[in-house]
A and B are shown apart, each in its own frame.
Chain A
């Protein structure tokens, strides 16, 4: 047995070592990969939390601006501002409003003349012919 073992080639002995190495690398790589992945997940989670915080801040700012806009658009605010700027704005009197009556629309393009019966017949033939194409 000992002799036989001595006669075994180096390549044959190298095989299991390589396998062992590969397995070790695989396990080690998996471990490192797992840690790296967890680290990435942690980082992404932190970024996500920051983005969410930023989004909430922007939403709050948006709400503030919407409220401010509503205040500026309120009739009382507009009236006070117009008075403050002394713009001399007054409500239009009914007689100051010019109303335009909608006239019946006259087509700018003249309608086509009634087609000649022969032409119509020709057109019908063309229509019948088209599905065959």
Chain B
């Protein structure tokens, strides 16, 4: 028989159980229904993680496969001061040298600190960046140093809690950011800096993670930025309590795609030759800037392109003057001066309004036209043949040839030679220069333009125009990139030489080359640009910079050799050389010669002239030796015989 008291106890127990179950049920509903979203999110954050794999930026290679720009992944080393306790000095002593930091400064950085969040709540700072751009090898050494550092206690004898403290201090107090940063390295330093350009780090969010990516800011780095940059990869995975990845639970796993390598037509050795000779020229002539471009006229392939002053893309920063960053060969325009006469005479020869033997009266150095007086700098030429006008660079002679050619035809050829439009080189920042349409010409323009005044051009435009004369009248587009290749060196895309147009006929080009050969002979404007083993054809230029009369000049020499079958064309430009010695033949000519001699030896260009002292004593060579005595016609005559030694 059940007693009432028992019923009460039973009912009480039932009530208690009901309440307990109701409480549990409520908690269950609260966790699984009401707070489901929040808790689910929190669990995901703790368990799931996205690992971002940065992509490797492609290399920039020279024509022989040497790396001019390459990439490396580096780490950012950080510290968690909360795990260091009072051991700042010991840790700083162990790793300061490896981090290339001052010990006291590092110890200061390792001191505990706090920060306030938006709500004003104070938190201990667990993230103190110590040093960026730490290589994996350096990081390994830092890890080893932390592992072996002695804190002056026998850790094995310590209680478990203190042992854990020292274990955390060794393993977790100094750590790296989870995603490595890319670092761009230019092994050659300043070599070809203006062509390569430079990069800047930008931040990008991939799958919710901030990733540092390099973005090209100038040069090939900027033009081919999208090609060089690959695609970032990522992996969605889960971690255990110890933050170790549970490979079994990997979900998305997208491998990064490295960027393509860009192989240039540039040859690092030729580039080095050019830069070292430009440096000597800079020292000797004290210009504001000196530039040079070396190219193969037949293809437009650029072997070297340099401008001084330059910069080191490895150390680009606010300390680099902006002027040094400019690739003056494409960004600056000048009145080209006498090198432009080659364009005018080529046009006149092509239109057959003159022949090389036609004689013009050069007014004894003073020619009044349209209210202006034209001068032949320091000379009083009388009658000169067209060939002499080129060789001696007579302004008045060129003006008269231009007048004979006529405004519309002169304008047509100026445009056909590529002036007034970008050359199309694959570099950013190229300007087009200024070529006014005929309707905007002054009356004196027809006499002024043939002297290289009244229009502006970039040095590269001038080089390409004279390259067209060297290339049998065919204007080529400058070619700076040879091919794109993947990480396994498989060619993905190959660039081909591009002909812009046939500007003048083959015969006109031949006649022009014949006249230009005289420039480097005694009596020409650039005998100091003559080469011992090669026939050179070229043209000097000494343009006045505005305002005229300020004794600021733009001196240049553009030449190519072997003249009849040119292998390379070298253009040298000096901006505001020493006013005591500023003529193109005196300043740019010797630099051309120095570059040409070394480049020809390096490239193995077959000589087309044998110096008299080296000629074998055979009956046929006696004739050459005899000619050599006449001096002036030695080089020319030898070349004209068509003999290759």
Interface residues of A (CB under 8 A from B): 38, 41-42, 44-46, 48-49, 57, 60-61, 63-64, 66-67, 69-71, 73-76, 79, 91-95, 97, 99
User: If A42-B248, A94-B607 touch, does A70 touch B70 (CB 8 Å cutoff)?
Assistant: yes
Assess whether B533 is in contact with A45, with CB atoms less than 8 Å apart. no
Question: Which of A46, A63, A74, A91 is close to B191, meaning CB atoms less than 8 Å apart?
Answer: A74
Interface SS majority for chain B: mixed
Q: Which residue of A has the minimal Cβ distance to B605?
A: A94
Q: Among residues 603 to 624 in chain B, which have CB atoms less than 8 Å away from a CB atom of chain A?
A: 604-607, 610-611, 614
B245→A76 contact, CB < 8 A? no
Q: Is B102 an interface residue (CB 8 A)?
A: no
Q: Is the CB of B136 within 8 A of A91?
A: no
Dominant secondary structure of chain A at its interface with chain B: helix
Are A67 and B185 in touch, CB under 8 angstroms? yes
Q: Which candidate, B13-21, B343-351, B392-400, B594-602, is the interface stretch facing chain A?
A: B594-602
Chain B residue numbers with a CB within 8 Å of A79 are 272
- Checking B137, B268, B269, B601 against A93 with a beta-carbon cut-off of 8 angstroms, the contacting residue is B601
CA distance A99 to B604 in the complex (A): 10
Q: Does B72 contact A (CB under 8 A)?
A: yes
Among residues of A, the one whose C-beta sits closest to the C-beta of B269 is A75
**Does any Cβ of A come within 8 Å of B39's Cβ?**
no
Separation of A42 and B238 alpha carbons in the complex (Å): 12
Chain A's closest residue to B534 (CB) is A94
CA distance A71 to B533 in the complex (A): 34
* Chain B interface size, under 10 / 10 to 19 / 20 to 34 / 35 or more: 35 or more
Contact status of A45 and B187, CB under 8 A, knowing A70-B66, A93-B601, A94-B601? no
Q: Are A74 and B268 in contact (CB under 8 A)?
A: yes
A70 contacts B272, CB within 8 Å? no
| B-side contacts of A42, CB under 8 Å | 246-248
Partner of A91 from the list B248, B532, B602, B610 (CB cut-off 8 Å) is B602
User: CA separation between A46 and B248, bound complex, in Å?
Assistant: 9
Are A94 and B191 interface neighbours, CB within 8 A?
Answer: no
Interface residues of B in 257-288 (CB under 8 A from A): 268-269, 271-272
A41-B248, A49-B245 given as contacts; is B71 within 8 A of A63 (CB)? Answer: yes
- For the complex, what is the distance from the CA of A112 to the CA of B510, rounded to whole Å? 49
Contact in complex: A74, B245 (CB < 8 Å): no
Q: CB-CB < 8 A to A46: which residues of B?
A: 244, 247
Given A49-B247, A63-B71, A66-B70, 10 new contacts (CB under 8 A): A38-B248, A49-B245, A57-B136, A63-B73, A67-B187, A73-B187, A74-B187, A94-B601, A95-B614, A97-B604
B244 to chain A: which residues have CB within 8 Å? Answer: 46, 49
User: What separation, in Å, do the CA atoms of A73 and B604 have in the docked complex?
Assistant: 20
